[in-house]
């Protein structure tokens, strides 16, 4: 019998149901929590660049590497053994499954992360 997974703090609103779709491809509880924190930080309205320091909410000019939040996001992005291809494959599956985002002959959905309005 498999050990039940411990819950993580939910992401706000409908974002939680979307991010929960990635839970099966993330190995640990800390990965499941970090992907929620990372995604929420990326979507937060912020005029500053989306640097790791800004995403973690640590102040510029301070010893950011000493902040637990920044260390956790850094670990998730660079050290955690999550399978980026499995996460990307799941993302594509979700886009194709939704009639609002699946490919069709009348146009294309383009996601631009440059921040250019």
Least confidently predicted of 12-16, 33-37, 108-112: 108-112
Domain that holds residue 78: 15-97
Helices 29-43, 68-78: axis angle to 10 degrees equals: 110
- 29: in domain: yes
Q: List the one residue out of 30, 32, 31, 54 whose CA is nearest residue 42.
A: 54
38 inside domain: yes
CB-based contact 22:35 (threshold 8 Å): yes
pLDDT tens, 51-64? 666 666 655 555 54
Report how many domains make up the chain. 1
3-state secondary structure of 96: helix
In a domain, 19, yes or no: yes
Q: What is the mean pLDDT of the chain?
A: 80
- What average pLDDT score do residues 33-61 get? 73
For 75-93, the pLDDT digits (tens) are 887 888 888 899 999 999 9
Question: Is 64 part of a structural domain of the chain?
Answer: yes
Residue 112 domain-assigned? no
7 within domain boundaries: no
Residue 78 lies in a domain: yes
């Amino acid at each position: 019998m498999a050990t039940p997974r411990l819950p993580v703090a939910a992401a706000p609103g409908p974002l939680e149901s979307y991010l929960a779709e990635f839970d099966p491809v993330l190995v640990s509880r800390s990965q499941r929590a970090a992907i929620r924190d990372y995604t929420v930080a990326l979507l937060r309205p912020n005029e500053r660049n989306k640097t790791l320091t800004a995403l973690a909410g640590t102040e510029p000019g301070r010893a950011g590497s000493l902040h637990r939040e920044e260390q956790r996001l850094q670990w998730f992005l660079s050290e955690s053994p999550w399978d980026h291809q499995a996460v990307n494959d799941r993302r594509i599956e979700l886009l194709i499954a939704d009639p609002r985002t699946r490919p069709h002959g009348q146009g294309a959905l383009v996601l631009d992360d440059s921040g250019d309005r």
